[in-house]
Amino acid sequence: MKVGDKVRFLDALGGGIVKSISGNQCCIEDEDGFEIPCLCRQCVVVTDEDDARAAGNAPVHQAPPSRSAIERMQMISESERLKAENGHLKQRIHELEDELAKLKLTLLRVQYPENKDRKSDQKTKQVPLRQNETLRNDIIEVDLHINALLDNTNGMDNAAMLRYQMEVFRDTMRSYRHCLGQKIVFIHGKGEGVLRKAIIDELRLRFPRCEWQDASFQHYGFGATQVTIHK
């Protein structure tokens, strides 16, 4: 064996071109350009005739793969199986998160009943407007101020109120997720910007294809974010 020879591995799949030899060790460059160090005795020189046999142009008498090659193939197969299983698990986790969010919103509404009358009984794109939603020039306005959502906030601290506001936000996004092109303005107020930041973080995480921007300053000042629904 010499530099430039084409070789294949004895105990594994693949092979390449001998790039260098040092003592009983050599460096093989595979077809992807990666250099693989190995022992010279673990390689065998192949000729164009060998390649012809491997391509099916001549009879091939190939020894059965070694135990290490079989184990490596089994490891690759197991890795692919685990990747597919991991993908299914991630999808199921997202589904469970959505189910949990709906359940939490239901529980919050039971704990803090909504007693306010609806501001409008109009419908947009077959989705009926709900409490704290209004329609202005084909744009849905959702007031997330806590006093617009609940008549009574006794026993709720700031964290509990924020959780409730975010559940209303998520519920709204889920309700209009199929209304492509629909614009929704979430009125959150200026304040310290906690609710606005939570909304933007949620958009980036769960609704990355939806567009968002500051709503009209003329109508809402710095206290609202406009979202455009995209698939």
pLDDT at 60: 46
pLDDT at 122: 37
If you average pLDDT over residues 143-153, what whole number do you get? 89
β pairing state of 43-45 and 6-9: antiparallel
Cα angle 207, 211, 192; round to 5 = 85
pLDDT of 68 over the 80 cut: no
If you average pLDDT over residues 222-227, what whole number do you get? 93
Rounded to an integer, what distance in angstroms lies between the CA atom of residue 30 and that of residue 20?
A: 13
pLDDT at 77: 82
- Percent of the chain exceeding pLDDT 70 equals 77
pLDDT of 117 over the 50 cut: no
- What is the sign of the dihedral through the CA atoms of 188, 189, 195 and 199? positive
pLDDT at 128: 64
pLDDT of 57 over the 60 cut: no
pLDDT at 72: 78
Cα angle 108, 112, 117; round to 5 = 115
pLDDT at 163: 93
pLDDT at 125: 46
Structure tokens of 1?
């064996």
Confidence of residue 113 (pLDDT cuts 50, 70, 90): low
- Percent of the chain exceeding pLDDT 90 equals 26
Buried b (16+ CB within 10 A) or exposed e, 138-153: ebbbbbbbbebbbeee
pLDDT at 118: 39
pLDDT at 136: 80
Rounded to the nearest integer, the mean pLDDT of the chain is 80
Question: pLDDT digit string (tens) for 159-213?
Answer: 999 999 999 999 999 888 888 899 999 999 887 889 999 999 999 999 988 999 9
